[in-house]
Structure 1
Amino acid sequence: METGSNSDSLDKAETSNGRGNKLGSMLPKIEPFVPKRDQNHNPRELRSWAKRTGFVSHLSGETGTASSTERFDSSTGFHVGKSSRDQRAGGSSPKIEIDPVLGRTRPNMGVEIEMDSGPGSGSRQGRRTVADGNGLGEKVEERKVGLNGNGVENGNGKGNGVASVTPLVVEEKDEEGKGGRDVEIGMYPEGEEQGHEGGNGHHPGLKVGLRDNPGFGALIYYGLQHFLSLAGSLIFIPSVMVPAMGGTDKDTATVISTMLLVSGISTILHSYFGSRLPLVQGSSFIYLAPALVIINARDYRNLAEHKFRHTMRELQGAIIVGSIFQSILGFSGLMSLLLRLINPVVVAPTVAAVGLAFFSYGFPQAGSCIEVSVPLLLLVLICTLYLRGISIFGHRLFRIYAVPLSVTITWIYAFFLTAGGAYDYKGCSPEIPSSNILVDECRKHAYTMKHCRTDASNALRTAAWVRIPYPLQWGVPIFHFRTSLIMIIVSLVASVDSVGTYHSASLLVSLKPPTPGVVSRGIALEGFCSLLAGIWGSGTGSTTLTENTHTINKTKMASRRALVFGALFLILFSVVGKVGAILASIPLSLAAAILCFMWALVVAVGLSTLQYTQTASFRNITIVGVSLFLGLSIPAYFQQYQPESILMLPSYFVPYAAASDGPVHTINEQLDFSINALLSMSMVVTFLVAFVLDNTVPGSWEERGVYIWSCAEDVATDPSLQLDYSLPGKFSSLCCCSSCLRA
């Protein structure tokens, strides 16, 4: 400790049992922790204090935090006392045993630290004492420590299961019939230590913390690794959309390049000006379903000329309107109010319904070439589940790169099948459109050749080496009320999905949850990024990818800098036309097979949100079950209401054709289109049912697993939290005037 950091009152030795022997003259004294620079328990100072004093924590770290404004009684201090065997009756003062081995227990013997009893320091039961930066004293926190249904301790008493990191926590417990107390002190969660210099304290499982800078080479590696693990979500959506819109292989390559550009720009903006969490932004599956609904509506599927460009411009206009609504939702502060109504019981079934909605597309499309799609599915499952623990040179390649590895291996396998003549049919050419094929035998094999052959796409031959995606590249957006209303509701669902991702990601990187202002800021910026996606013409809006939490968990990488480096490479790849062309050349059966896995992963990530609730609660499982069932059954009714679309569309697109043929008929055709489209989408129906039930059916906060967000006072008193969530440099002053946006 610095000179003068100990108070004079702590220099007095304690007399034990009236013998008059001053223990301070015989045994070393444990100095109290007094911060040198601030009053906020800088963890590095705590660590250095622990090294000097020999202190070792033995708490699990799941104890909740107390307010930093709470103070200890100034008269309380720690002195080295005799062992408990030498203590006699009247030894009611609290004791601390220091065990050099973390998590071990030992007999109550040897030297103990005894706390001087200050005035009014009588026995108190079931209350916590927390050390504060002004010195050692005591302040009793009256709040209960809550447990959620899974037994996870939550210091806020609201059952959220958040493992808060408290610099110095003292637990008081009643001794059996003695009136004394055991005081336990914990600095870090069990097994957790402070991060790299210059970074924030992060979970030991993370390779790189939020603000860590591991070096230029490592940043490039971790950034590319993060985006490669999300490749299935970033590049395969155009493979589904563009062919349905009547686009060519070259159009598919251009849309993929545009998505890479918008995703890179959005990720950089979100890392600096959004929630500032290490989350990749991109074209989400949430926007795929409404896009398919609009594409397969009667008015667009029957277009004869310029079908792709006209449909894309319609999507652009709808996305722009929806993004403006989302930005207003965030910048106005309405999102902060809506957060009170969004909880895990709402988020879990909504996100799960996003993945379940595509079950009619997944394997029916992949089954067009079983000899390629089934091996790919098996390979990605083997890498993800059976080989995930195998480490090669310290890297778990099969766990992190399961999707790109499986796609590459299966793609090579499909290439050898194609080169070996497995899909050669006499007199048939894959380059001739199926509509121009006159021979019945060739028409029968055209579908197989299109989905299985690796040379069926001409994107690689027609794409330019360098092409920069530019705004309004497809033409001026078209605005209609019916499609705009659809995207407004979908942007609300996307915001709900992002709320759950923000909360889960903050816990994965060992941070306190963001404040409502940070969440609102992130949602507002997502709206702005969707506006960019609408202007550039990527076909879908830009939002936080649901799979982010899974990626952080398996890569153990949470660096903002690494994410920015990866996003820069994404922007670089977007201007190289051949990159998009190579990705567009992936056979459709391979794309459908890997999407089967990705959609299943979205379902799993969504349902995992229930871990913050009491999963054994009949209330919760009923709400989730009813919302999921109705979310699949009600859309099925709308999709099957007028089945003449079966004659017009492939079977896997029939569920997305209800907008023009649904049962809702009012005096306004535009409104009919919107309502039929919205009620034919599983995620919208599931969200509405879960939202209403969760906010009307009685239930305690612990049972519901209500999200607990940080407050402005936490940020004001915690410098590390300010560095994590506050805007960089002068930009932080822009949000100071708006309480709904600042950290």
Structure 2
Amino acid sequence: MANSEPDKKPRPGPWPPAPDSAAMPPSSWAKRTGFRPKFSGETNASNSDQMTSLPPPQPSLPKPKQPDTSLDIEAGRPRPGPDSNGEAVARDRAKEKENAKELTPPVRKLRQSDGGKNLAANGGEGSRRAARGEEVVAVDVPHQSVLDDDDYVARHSHMKYELRDSPGLVPIGLYGFQHFLSMLGSLILIPLVIVPAMGGTYEDTADVVSTVLFISGVTTLLHVSFGSRLPLIQGPSFVYLAPALAIINSPEFLGLKGNNFKHIMKELQGAIIIGSAFQTFLGYSGLMAIFLRLINPVVVAPTIAAVGLSFYSYGFPRLGACIEIGVLQILLVVIFSLYLRKISILGHRVFLIYAVPLGLFITWCTSFLLTESGVYSYKGCDTNIPASNIISDHCRRHVSRMKYCRVDTNHALSASPWFRFPYPLQWGMPVFHLKMALVMCVVSVIAAVDSVSQSSLPPTAGVLSRGIGLEGLTSILAGVWGTGTGSTTLTENVHTIAVTKMGSRRAVQLGACVLIVLSLVGKVGGFIASIPEVMVAALLCFMWAMLTALGLSNLRYSEAGSSRNIIIVGLSLFLSLSVPAYFQQYGLSPNSNLSVPSYFQPYIVASHGPIATTSGGVNYVVNTLLSLHMVIAFLVALILDNTVPGSKQERGVYVWSEAEAARREADVCKDYQLPFRVGTIFRWVKWVGL
């Protein structure tokens, strides 16, 4: 008998394989590209052409046929026949194998690189597909896109508050103020550079700072409500700083007498308005969404990195005017942001979030104590006397330390009124010149590319175009009010949200309202304008280094170890430094007396560049654009990345979600749809609606 001879029993068969280990949830750009890292257990690259469209129903697999000699494990004897229990056991095992392959670990995901499968929120019957004739119901699942220390990842537990959460007025107010305070450097440092370069006084600097705060608050409200609808702060971008300095140092402005500030500001306003109008057209016409098919992480990384590297000639040379204060400022920010970054107080990483404000406060207090103790006071020398009128050699040797190390030489705070309302055209009617407008048109394209790279979810083409178009409109507002730069999404947003774990758009909206109120207090602008220039230069060294690192970090969404990508990025970065250096040094003799400081020398290339045609406008545009580091990096990377063969995973190709599939996802609709049912009006517009 089979029961008495267990040695002759055939084996019941192998046990079903264990389920695969959970793959690491891809971050935002991986969602767009379909990138699957090899260390996640998935070695095959996914087809990035399949994103969010729901897969068609697939027929169930045929039941596996078992041999007639299959055993009943419980009874221990063979039971032949199609209806035997042995075949039922085999069918159960086959189902277990199929479920082990289909079921995923209970990690919440939203539109991953799985071809668009709508996985269940709780990891249960996630692989069940709707049968024919069965109605597909969209379930309102909370938004799963959250942040870790680097970027958005799909883990709900990592986020304190999601995009649509409203935890209450007090928490929202505190988080909103914290969000804007942590980005203080990005908001206020650009006016502290360009206004003195235009010949403006401390009072002019205070007025421009107040205007920047006002416009940043207004444009942030507009974008969070009617643009991309993501909790991203709008403000003056470093992308606009280099072209603004190039326009400020144009040859026609070098011989101006009188109030140079208002005259140059009106020229700058005209260029910004035209360039922003061009960006608005690209956005709302849908042309930018088509152009961005050519933009990949391999293009974005060197372009944004070149923006930070381009100001190396301004940073430390400006800081060296008072070396002890400048170095102290850099050391404090580095210590707070690196060595003390993991210290948490009441659940907040205070030193990491407030590294810039804390470093500025301590350095300012130190400089104040040194000034009051007489360290920077020299017998017989007066800080109020212009350097050109100082006769004593003793005072001339110390004029730099008296001007840049002391904190009482700036009277912007005392001269500022308590209330001041920034109004449009406050500097006069803008002046429009075609050559300056063309420069800003090219820069606006790069600014749009920078902004798009910061989206958390893969948006539809309509949402993308809507955000870029509204960014152009808000930059027009910045030009009309006269901030000196366009308004774009600040690059540091992703880092700030990752640390604070606050993803609620209501916090950013309330913070923007607070920013508008602060802009009406003239003393706030005066206080910011009174920051010593050496401290500004030290903070800029840190901010530009951060910008460079954030740009290069985009390479992690492509195959950074690929020889193709290494050569493209390396060549783009090197040429972005070398080609502008050729244009900036062309025609200059070593002993020539320049009319601008040495740190502004790279921006006077329009007067001596190598391009010399019969058209002065063409000479100005070409010499200026080819002297900008970010333009060279963008052009080289764009051409090489789109002409050198490479797989989509290797390049990190962007893939935008499809509109119809996005409308079937409740989370996407609630995240991106316009409020107050405005979206229903624009649904028919392909490049504006969802």
Alignment partners' CA distance in 1, 2:207 and 2:146: 46
Correspondent of 1:62 among 21, 25, 43: 25
Classify the secondary structure of the residue corresponding to 1:236: helix
Amino acid across the alignment from 1:677 = T
Alignment partners' CA distance in 1, 2:125 and 2:22: 10
Percent identity between the two aligned chains: 52
Deviates more, 1:300-309 or 1:408-417: 300-309
- 8 Å CA contact 1:202, 1:209 repeated in 2: no
Structure 1, residues 604-642: CA drift from partner, whole Å, max 9, x if none? 111111111011111111110001100110000011012
- Say yes or no: does 1:290 pair with 2:243: yes
Instruction: Spell out the pairing of 1:75-90 with structure 2 (5 A cutoff).
Output: none
Correspondent of 2:504 among 559, 571, 590: 559
- 8 Å CA contact 2:576, 2:630 repeated in 1: yes
Correspondent of 2:612 among 650, 665, 669: 665
Please name the residue that 1:178 is paired with: none
Classify the secondary structure of the residue corresponding to 1:496: helix
- 8 Å CA contact 2:118, 2:126 repeated in 1: no
The CA deviation at 1:522 is 0.6
Alignment partners' CA distance in 1, 2:636 and 2:113: 28
Please name the residue that 1:577 is paired with: 522
- Say yes or no: does 1:485 pair with 2:438: yes
Change (3 A) 1:739 1:360: same
The CA deviation at 1:667 is 1.2
Correspondent of 2:338 among 362, 385, 397: 385
Alignment partners' CA distance in 1, 2:73 and 2:341: 52
Please name the residue that 2:650 is paired with: 703
TM-score by length of 1: 0.76
- 8 Å CA contact 1:290, 1:486 repeated in 2: yes
The CA deviation at 1:435 is 3.5
- Say yes or no: does 1:348 pair with 2:301: yes
Change (3 A) 1:88 1:219: same
Alignment partners' CA distance in 2, 1:604 and 1:681: 19
Query: Which is richer in helix?
Result: 2
- 8 Å CA contact 2:233, 2:508 repeated in 1: yes
The CA deviation at 1:705 is 0.6
Please name the residue that 2:198 is paired with: 245
Please name the residue that 2:689 is paired with: 742
Change (3 A) 1:677 1:85: farther
Higher RCO structure, 1 or 2 (CA under 8 Å, sep 6+): 2
Please name the residue that 1:155 is paired with: 114
The CA deviation at 1:715 is 1.6
- The runs of at least 4 aligned residues of structure 1 exceeding 6 Å deviation read 63-66, 74-77, 123-127, 169-172, 192-195
Change (3 A) 1:194 1:349: closer
- Say yes or no: does 1:641 pair with 2:586: yes
Correspondent of 2:629 among 682, 704, 708: 682
The CA deviation at 1:164 is 9.1
Classify the secondary structure of the residue corresponding to 2:235: strand
Amino acid across the alignment from 1:638 = F
The CA deviation at 1:647 is 2.5
Alignment partners' CA distance in 2, 1:736 and 1:188: 21
- 8 Å CA contact 2:140, 2:666 repeated in 1: no
Please name the residue that 1:655 is paired with: 602
Please name the residue that 1:421 is paired with: 374
The CA deviation at 1:440 is 3.9
Classify the secondary structure of the residue corresponding to 1:282: strand
Please name the residue that 1:308 is paired with: 261
Please name the residue that 1:12 is paired with: none
Structure 1, residues 667-697: CA drift from partner, whole Å, max 9, x if none? 1101111111111110011101111111111
Classify the secondary structure of the residue corresponding to 2:678: helix
Alignment partners' CA distance in 2, 1:156 and 1:440: 75
Structure 1, residues 105-160: CA drift from partner, whole Å, max 9, x if none? xxxxxxxxx57xxxxxxx989986899xxxxxxxxxxxxxxxxxxxxx83349xxx
The CA deviation at 1:326 is 0.3
Alignment partners' CA distance in 2, 1:592 and 1:368: 10
Structure 1, residues 323-345: CA drift from partner, whole Å, max 9, x if none? 00000000101011012111111
Please name the residue that 2:326 is paired with: 373
The CA deviation at 1:85 is 7.4
Please name the residue that 2:66 is paired with: none
Aligned positions, number: 604
Correspondent of 1:601 among 546, 557, 582: 546
The CA deviation at 1:445 is 2.6
Alignment partners' CA distance in 1, 2:487 and 2:385: 35
Classify the secondary structure of the residue corresponding to 2:258: coil
The CA deviation at 1:291 is 0.7
Classify the secondary structure of the residue corresponding to 2:313: coil
Instruction: Spell out the pairing of 1:501-520 with structure 2 (5 A cutoff).
Output: 501-502=454-455, 506=456, 512-520=457-465
- 8 Å CA contact 2:298, 2:558 repeated in 1: yes
- 8 Å CA contact 2:120, 2:126 repeated in 1: no
The CA deviation at 1:375 is 1.1
Classify the secondary structure of the residue corresponding to 2:596: coil
The CA deviation at 1:441 is 3.4
Correspondent of 1:618 among 555, 563, 567: 563
- 8 Å CA contact 1:383, 1:402 repeated in 2: yes
Correspondent of 1:446 among 392, 395, 399: 399
Q: Mark the runs of 5 or more structure 1 residues left unpaired by the alignment.
A: 1-55, 78-83, 97-113, 116-122, 132-152, 158-162, 173-186, 507-511
Please name the residue that 2:677 is paired with: 730
Alignment partners' CA distance in 1, 2:488 and 2:236: 7
The CA deviation at 1:170 is 7.5
The CA deviation at 1:377 is 0.7
- Say yes or no: does 1:692 pair with 2:639: yes
Q: Mark the runs of 5 or more structure 2 residues left unpaired by the alignment.
A: 1-18, 27-33, 35-50, 64-71, 75-84, 106-111, 128-138, 148-152
- 8 Å CA contact 2:405, 2:532 repeated in 1: yes
Change (3 A) 1:732 1:171: closer
Alignment partners' CA distance in 2, 1:626 and 1:194: 35
Alignment partners' CA distance in 1, 2:353 and 2:652: 30
Please name the residue that 2:535 is paired with: 590
Amino acid across the alignment from 1:154 = S
Please name the residue that 2:233 is paired with: 280
The CA deviation at 1:455 is 1.1
Instruction: Spell out the pairing of 1:205-224 with structure 2 (5 A cutoff).
Output: 205-224=158-177
Q: Give the superposed CA RMSD.
A: 3.2
Please name the residue that 1:720 is paired with: 667
TM-score by length of 2: 0.82
Alignment partners' CA distance in 2, 1:274 and 1:307: 36
Change (3 A) 1:166 1:513: farther
The CA deviation at 1:429 is 2.2
Please name the residue that 1:526 is paired with: 471
Please name the residue that 2:483 is paired with: 538
Alignment partners' CA distance in 2, 1:643 and 1:71: 70
Alignment partners' CA distance in 2, 1:290 and 1:566: 30
Change (3 A) 1:603 1:170: farther
- 8 Å CA contact 2:52, 2:658 repeated in 1: no
Alignment partners' CA distance in 2, 1:662 and 1:717: 55
- 8 Å CA contact 2:166, 2:506 repeated in 1: yes
Classify the secondary structure of the residue corresponding to 1:543: strand
Classify the secondary structure of the residue corresponding to 1:707: coil
Please name the residue that 1:23 is paired with: none
The CA deviation at 1:559 is 1.0
Structure 1, residues 171-205: CA drift from partner, whole Å, max 9, x if none? 99xxxxxxxxxxxxxx999xx8999xxxx996322
The CA deviation at 1:646 is 5.4
Please name the residue that 1:37 is paired with: none
The CA deviation at 1:485 is 0.7
